């Protein structure tokens, strides 16, 4: 897998989150308690943090489910692609931000894969020929063209995941949010989804925010790792910076074994020339050390 050049140089801001706070009704504490975050165009951002840290709430604030669908106490502002989320209708936001749920069964429901991929576009009254070409393109990109006429229940979990992602891609959003995209997949299929994210990012310039507990899967392609804890952003940097910071092990985010070993060896005085992302890189570094 090729590692993207860190996208920082030509960075244009895609999303800006300023002083964002949100409290659900009936809840004593704020799920998101004052978050500032800027997301550059073309970045792959890995969002980590223990359950209940506010990750999902933050994602809902970015795609507009909050404040449009969830009542609660909202303050601060979120802007995506120049649109202020709180004052833009969901249907407009949906063309900017795509969301893939953890369980693809929650979002594929038509009689065939093709119909499902076309669903969002049909709702936006996109012309017929345009739908045809975008659907074909999305299915081809995800390698599911031959599944066009299959019913969703006939698909394997990996195929369902790709069908759901095709539906999101067909909308051509600037930003795609993935909530634990690989949790139901076998390790090899999970890696394929990871390569796919990298490909869509590289070829179409789509920005991604990915929530994933198995960090080791995403670290090799992520440009940035943001850690949340108790509603706040507590760490933000390249995965190498964050995972080699001694504080990271205190947040319960499942620091990959390789990073933990690297940190332990660094502490014991082993000199490394770079922070390894894979076991193979760590082995090379150990040989060089």
Partner 1 sequence: MTALSGVSLTIGERETVAIVGENGAGKTTLVRHINGLLKPTKGSVLVDGVDTRKTTTATLARKVGIAFQNPDHQLFSDSVENEVKFAMTNLGFAPEVVAQRVDWALKFFGLEDYRSSSPLVLSGGEKKRLTLACILAWDPEVVVLDEPTVGQDALQKEKLAQIFRLLQSTGKTIVIVSHDVEFLWPIQPRLVVMSGGRVVAEGQISSVMQDRGLLDRARVIQPQLLRLHSELRDRPPAPFLDVSEARAWVEGRDSRQERR
Interacting residues with partner 1 (CB under 8 A): 49-51, 102-103, 156-158, 180, 183-191, 213-214, 216, 252-258, 261, 264-265, 268, 270, 278-280, 282-284, 286-287, 289
Q: Could you tell me the smallest distance in angstroms from the CB atom of residue 218 to partner 1?
A: 13
Nearer CB in complex with partner 1: 75/183: 183
Which residues, including other chains, have CB under 8 Å from residue 209's CB and lie 6 or more apart? 39, 45, 47, 59, 62, 175, 176, 177, 178
Nearer CB in complex with partner 1: 146/268: 268
Q: Could you tell me the smallest distance in angstroms from the CB atom of residue 177 to partner 1?
A: 16
Q: What are phi and psi of 110, to 5 degrees?
A: -80, 180
Q: Could you tell me the smallest distance in angstroms from the CB atom of residue 132 to partner 1?
A: 30
> Could you say which DSSP state residue 149 is in?
T
Nearer CB in complex with partner 1: 15/197: 197
- N-term to C-term CA, the chain: 25
Nearer CB in complex with partner 1: 12/28: 28
Q: Could you tell me the smallest distance in angstroms from the CB atom of residue 129 to partner 1?
A: 35
Q: Could you tell me the smallest distance in angstroms from the CB atom of residue 252 to partner 1?
A: 4
Query: What 3-state DSSP class applies to 114?
Result: helix
Q: Where are the alpha helices (DSSP H) in the chain?
A: 55-63, 65-68, 90-93, 113-123, 128-141, 157-170, 187-204, 215-218, 239-243, 257-267, 279-288
Picking from 13, 52, 57, the residue whose alpha carbon sits closest to that of residue 35 is 57
Q: Could you tell me the smallest distance in angstroms from the CB atom of residue 183 to partner 1?
A: 5
Nearer CB in complex with partner 1: 73/154: 154
Query: What 3-state DSSP class applies to 90?
Result: helix
- The Cα 159–Cα 163 span in angstroms is 6
Nearer CB in complex with partner 1: 83/185: 185
In contact, 275 and 244? CB cutoff 8 Å:
yes
């Amino acid at each position: 897998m090729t590692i993207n050049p860190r996208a920082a140089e030509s960075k244009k801001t895609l999303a800006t989150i300023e002083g964002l706070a949100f409290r659900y009704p009936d809840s004593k504490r704020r799920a998101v308690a004052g978050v500032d975050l800027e997301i550059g165009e073309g970045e792959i951002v890995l969002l980590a943090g223990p359950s209940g840290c506010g990750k999902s709430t933050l994602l809902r604030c970015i795609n507009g489910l909050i404040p449009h669908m969830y009542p609660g106490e909202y303050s601060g502002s979120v802007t995506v692609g120049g649109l202020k989320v709180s004052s833009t209708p969901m249907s407009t936001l949906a063309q900017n931000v795509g969301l893939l749920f953890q369980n693809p069964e929650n979002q594929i429901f038509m009689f065939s894969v093709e119909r499902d991929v076309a669903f969002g576009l049909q709702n936006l009254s996109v012309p017929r020929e345009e739908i045809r070409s975008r659907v074909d393109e999305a299915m081809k990109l995800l390698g599911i063209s031959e599944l066009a006429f299959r019913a969703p229940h006939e698909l394997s979990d990996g195929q369902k995941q790709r069908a759901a992602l095709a539906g999101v891609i067909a909308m051509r959003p600037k930003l795609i949010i993935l909530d634990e995209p690989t949790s139901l997949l076998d390790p090899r299929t999970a890696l394929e989804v990871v390569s796919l994210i990298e490909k869509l990012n590289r070829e179409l310039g789509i920005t991604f925010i990915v929530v994933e507990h198995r960090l080791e899967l995403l670290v090799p392609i992520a440009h940035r790792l943001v850690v949340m804890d108790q509603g706040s952003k507590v760490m933000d940097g390249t995965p190498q910076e964050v995972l080699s910071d001694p504080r990271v092990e205190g947040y319960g985010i499942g620091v990959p074994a390789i990073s933990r070993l690297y940190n332990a060896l660094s502490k014991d005085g082993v000199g490394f020339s770079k922070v390894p992302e894979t076991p193979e890189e760590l082995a090379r570094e150990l040989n060089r050390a």
